[in-house]
Amino acid sequence: MTLKLAFIGYGVVGQGLTEILLEKKEMLRKRYGFDFSIVAISDIMKGSVYDEQGLDMNMILDMVKEGKKLDEYPDGKKGMDSLQTIKETNADVIIEITFTDVKTGQPALEHIHAAFDAGKHVVSTNKGPVVKEVRALLDKAEKKHVHYGFEGVVLAGTPVINLAKYTLAGTKITGFKGIMNGTTNYILTRMEEGMAYEDALKKAQELGYAEADPTGDVEGLDALGKVVILTNVVLGEKLGWEDVKCTGITKITKEDINLAKKEGKRWKLIGSAFVKPDGSIDAKVEPVKLPLSDPLAGVNEAINALTFTTDELGPVTIVGPGAGKRETGFSLLVDLLELNRKVQGEE
Ligand code: HSE
C-alpha cells in the first residue's frame, strides 16, 4: 500500500522530512516496504496545493527555497485551507507541523481532531496538543482506529518515546532528568566561548533550532512542555504545564558563566520530574550549575540528553540531537515507519 501524505504547515521540519523521504525512497521501499506519495501541502504563509496523484516534491522544495508561493505550482488545486486539506483530500496521513502553542495547543489540536474524525492517521512534532490533552487524543485515535505518532515532541529524532515505550518495556520508570532544549544549550555553549547572548540566540534561530517565537525556548517553556509530555506519556502520571515550576536562562549573565567556569562548573537548563514516595510529582525546569564531572555537563551545542531512572537498570541515558531541520524531520519518519508496520500488520 502507498501511504498518501498531506503536510499541514510546511516550515523547516517539513522540508527536512521531504529531503529525507526523497533521498531514501528506494531504501525505505526495499527495507521496510514503505511507499509514499505526498498529495497536499497547506501552509498559512506559503499557500496550498493538492494533487491526488501526488506532487513533484523536488519542484516544491526548489520553489520554497526561492521564496515562491505554492500557488505558483503548475498543476493541482490551490487555495484549500488546513481543515479543507485534512477533510477533503485523499490523504491517509496528516503530518501536523504548524507552530507550537503549549498553552492552548492550537491550531494543531483542531487539526488533529479533524483528522481523527475523518479517519486519518496523524504524525506530528507539535508539542502543544500533547501537552494539552495527550490521553484524550490517544483514546480518540484508538476509538477511530487510527495512529497518532509524536516521537519528535521530545528530543527531536533521538528516539526517547520509542525507547521508553518499546525498548524499556517491562521496567518501571520512576523519573527523568535532562537537557531538553537545543536552543538554550546552544546559547549557553556559545556564551561560554564569549559570544553575546543576543548573537547566540540569532545563530540558534538561523540554524532552525529555535521556535517561531524563541521566548518559549529561553524562558524554559519549551522544556516545560517536554517535562509535561514525558510525565504523562512515560511516567503515566497526570501533570499540566501550570503544575511545573519554570525558570529559563534569560537571567544568566556572562559573569555567571565565567564564575561557573572558574569553579569547574557549567550552567545547563535542566528539566526533571520524579514520582515522590507519596505518589505526587516533583517537576521543574531551571538552570543548574553542574560540576564538570556530571555527564550532563559534557553535553554541548544543540545536543540534548535524557536520563530515565528505572527499577531494573537504574539510570539509563540517551544523548542525541534535540532540534534541527533534518533531525526533527527524521522523527516523523520514525512515526511513519511505525504506522507502516501497523498497516502492514493489518493487511
Ligand atoms: N526549539 C526547540 C529546541 C526545538 O530548541 O529544542 C525542538 O523541540
Q: What is the DSSP string of 283-315?
A: EEEEEEEEETTSGGGG--TTEEEEEEEETTTEE
> How confident is the model at residue 54, as a pLDDT?
98
Catalytic annotation on 226? yes
The ranges assigned to domains in the chain are: 2-157+326-346, 163-321
> How confident is the model at residue 296, as a pLDDT?
94
Cα–Cα distance measured from residue 272 to residue 307, given in angstroms and rounded to the nearest whole number: 9
Closest alpha carbon to 161 in 226, 95, 246, 64: 226
> How confident is the model at residue 245, as a pLDDT?
94
> How confident is the model at residue 336, as a pLDDT?
98
Superfamily of domain 163-321 in CATH is: Dihydrodipicolinate Reductase; domain 2 (3.30.360.10)
Q: What's the length of the chain? A: 347
Locate 124 and state its grid cell: 506530528
> How confident is the model at residue 100, as a pLDDT?
87
Decide: 323 in ligand 1 pocket, CB within 6 A. Answer: yes
For 3, 102, 343, the CA distances from 145, given in Å and listed in that order, are 16, 26, 11
Question: What is the sign of the dihedral through the CA atoms of 55, 57, 58 and 61?
Answer: positive
The yes-or-no answer to whether 2-157+326-346 and 163-321 have a common fold is no
> How confident is the model at residue 215, as a pLDDT?
94
According to CATH, the topology of domain 2-157+326-346 is: Rossmann fold (3.40.50)
Cα–Cα distance measured from residue 62 to residue 346, given in angstroms and rounded to the nearest whole number: 37
Decide: 222 in ligand 1 pocket, CB within 6 A. Answer: yes
Q: What is the pLDDT of residues 79-114, one digit of tens each?
A: 999 999 999 999 999 999 999 888 899 999 999 999
Decide: 151 in ligand 1 pocket, CB within 6 A. Answer: no
> How confident is the model at residue 309, as a pLDDT?
97
Helix crossing, 108-117 with 127-143: angle to 10°?
10
Q: What is the pLDDT of residues 159-203, one digit of tens each?
A: 999 999 999 999 999 999 999 999 999 999 999 999 999 999 999
pTM: 0.92
Cα–Cα distance measured from residue 191 to residue 198, given in angstroms and rounded to the nearest whole number: 10
- Which ligand 1 atom is at minimum distance from the Cα of 216? 1
Decide: 183 in ligand 1 pocket, CB within 6 A. Answer: yes
> How confident is the model at residue 102, as a pLDDT?
82
Q: Enumerate residue ranges in the chain where pLDDT < 50.
A: none
Closest alpha carbon to 304 in 168, 213, 186, 219: 186
- Which ligand 1 atom is at minimum distance from the Cα of 328? 7
Quick check: 163 and 178 in contact, CB under 8 A? Answer: no
> How confident is the model at residue 310, as a pLDDT?
97
Encode burial over 212-223: b for 16+ CB neighbours within 10 A, e otherwise. eebebbbbbbbb
> Could you say which of 226, 265, 284, 325 is catalytic?
226
Of all protein residues, whose CA lies closest to atom 4 belonging to ligand 1? 323
